[in-house]
Amino acid sequence: MSDAPTAARPQPGMAAGALARVAVLPVGLALRVLDPPMRWLQRAIGVRRMAYVFLLPNFAFFGLFVFLPIGINIVFSVTGGTALFPSERPYVGAEQFAYLFDCGSYLDPSSCREDHFWRGVANTTKFVVFQVTAMVLFSLITALVLNMKIRGRGFFRAVYFFPVLLSPVVVALIWKWILQRDGLLNAAITTLGGQKILFFVDPGWAMFWAVFVSVWAHMGFYTLILLAGLQAIPADLYEAAEMDATPRWRVLTRITLPLLWPNMIVVIVLALIKGAQTFDEVFVLTGGGPGTATLMVVQYIYETGFASQVQNFGLAAAASVVLGLVLFVLTLLQFAAARRKEI
C-alpha cells in the first residue's frame, strides 16, 4: 500500500515522453494522409523523378521570393517612367545604367550626374576597407585569446557572440544613445572635464563610429568561425612545435596563421559581402550623414526607389543590379575559398 503514492507520482521522463507523443501526432497524421497519394505518384513517375517532387516546394518558395524579385528588378532596370507595373513601363534599354555611369571622373563623385550613387560607392568602399580590416584583425585576436586556457573562457565566448543575436536596428539605437550629443559617452567625457564631441556632425567621427559599431555587432560571428578553425588545428602540432623549440611568434606566423588561412579567407570574403550590403545599422545610427559622409550604396538605392518624392524605381533597380553583380563576384570568391579549404 505504501508504494501506491510513489507509483502514482508522474515522472519527469514520462511527462516529456507524453508531450513528445502529442507533438508528433500531427506529423504522424499527415504522413498517414500523404502516404497513399505519394505511393501512387511514385508508381506513376518512378523513384528517380520523386527527388524532383520533394524539391518542388523549396523550388517554388525560392522562385517566388528570390528568382522572381531578381527578374522583376532586372525588368525595372531596363524600363523607365514612374509606373509601378512592368507592363506600363516603357523599355529604355541601358539608359538607366548609362545615367548611373555618366561621370567626368569616377574618382570625383561631384563630376557624376548621379553623384549620390558615386558618393555611396566611395563611402561603401571606404567603409568596407576599414571595416573588413578591423573585423579580421579584432576577430583574430579575440579568437586567439578565447582559444587559450583562460579563466571564464565559456563566459567570454558567450559575451563576444551576444551582439550577433541583436537586431541591427537595436544595435544602432544602443550606440546612438551612447554617442549622441547628450549621450553616455559625452556625459563621461564632460565628467572627466572634457568638451562634448559632436560625433555625428564630424564626417570623420561619423564614419569611424559606423565602422566601430558594425565591427562590434558582427565580430562575434567571425570570431566563432576563426575559433572553430583554431580548434581544428591538432594540439599535437603545437606540441611538436614546442619540441622543435619554436618561439611563440614563429608558432603564430608559421603554424597557426597558415593553418587558419582557409578560415581567414572565408571570414574576409563574408565580411566583404556583408560590408557591401551595409544599410540598416548605419542608416539608423547616422542617417547617412553628416551630409552624405556615411551614405552607403544600399541607402542610396532605398532612398532613390522608395524614400524620395519622385520614386525612381528604374534607377534604383539599375543600381541594385550593379551591386548585385559585385556581390555575385564576391560570392564566387567565397565559393572558391571554401573549395580551397583542404590543405
Partner 1 sequence: MAELKLTGARKSFANIDVLHGIDLAVKDGEFVVFVGPSGCGKSTLLRVIAGLENVTSGEVLIDGERVTHLPASERGLAMVFQSYALYPHMSVAKNMAFALENMGLKPAEIQARVARAAAMLRLTDYLDRKPKALSGGQRQRVAIGRAIVRDPKIFLFDEPLSNLDAELRVATRKELAALHAKLGGTMIYVTHDQVEAMTLADRIVVLNAGRIEQVGTPLELYNRPSNAFVAGFIGSPRMNFLPAVVTSDDGTLRLTVGERELELPRTASGLVAGARVTLGIRPEHIDVASDTGMLGATVDLVEQLGGEAFIYASAPGLPQITLRQDGQSQFHRGDAIAIRFAADHLHIFDATTGAALARP
Nearest Cα neighbor of 120 from 279, 286, 268, 312 is 279
Residue given cell 505504501 in the structure block: 2
Nearest to partner 1 of 35, 239 (CB atom): 239
Site for partner 1 in 226-285 (CB under 8 A): 234, 236-237, 239-240, 242-247, 250, 254-255, 258-259
Shortest distance, position 330 Cβ to partner 1, whole Å: 26
Q: How far apart (Å, rounded) are the C-alpha atoms in residues 252 and 231?
A: 14
Asked if 117 and 297 touch (Cβ cutoff 8 Å), the reply is: yes
Residue given cell 520523386 in the structure block: 50
Nearest to partner 1 of 158, 240 (CB atom): 240
Q: Kindly give the interhelix angle for 203-231 and 257-276, rounded to the nearest 10 degrees.
A: 140
Nearest to partner 1 of 260, 322 (CB atom): 260
Contacts 24+ apart (CB under 8 A), 260-265: 260/140, 260/226, 260/229, 260/230, 260/233, 262/229, 262/337, 262/340, 262/341, 262/342, 262/343, 263/225, 263/226, 263/228, 263/229, 263/341, 264/136, 264/140, 264/226, 264/229, 265/337, 265/340
Nearest to partner 1 of 138, 261 (CB atom): 261
Q: Which residues contact 254 (CB under 8 A, 6 or more apart)?
A: 246
Nearest to partner 1 of 35, 242 (CB atom): 242
Nearest to partner 1 of 75, 265 (CB atom): 265
Nearest to partner 1 of 263, 312 (CB atom): 263
Question: What secondary structure letter does DSSP report for 234?
Answer: -
Q: How far apart (Å, rounded) are the C-alpha atoms in residues 219 and 162?
A: 10
Nearest Cα neighbor of 316 from 169, 124, 120 is 120
Is 39 a binder of partner 1 (CB under 8 A)?
no
Site string for partner 1, 178-197 (x = CB under 8 A): --------------------
CB atoms under 10 Å from CB of 207, counted, come to: 19
Site for partner 1 in 75-104 (CB under 8 A): none
Shortest distance, position 263 Cβ to partner 1, whole Å: 13
Shortest distance, position 272 Cβ to partner 1, whole Å: 24
Size of the site for partner 1 (CB under 8 A): 17
Shortest distance, position 297 Cβ to partner 1, whole Å: 38
Nearest to partner 1 of 20, 240 (CB atom): 240
Nearest to partner 1 of 247, 291 (CB atom): 247
CA 137 to chain centre: 18
Q: How far apart (Å, rounded) are the C-alpha atoms in residues 320 and 297?
A: 9
Asked if 229 and 260 touch (Cβ cutoff 8 Å), the reply is: yes
Sites of contact with partner 1 (CB under 8 A): 234, 236-237, 239-240, 242-247, 250, 254-255, 258-259, 343
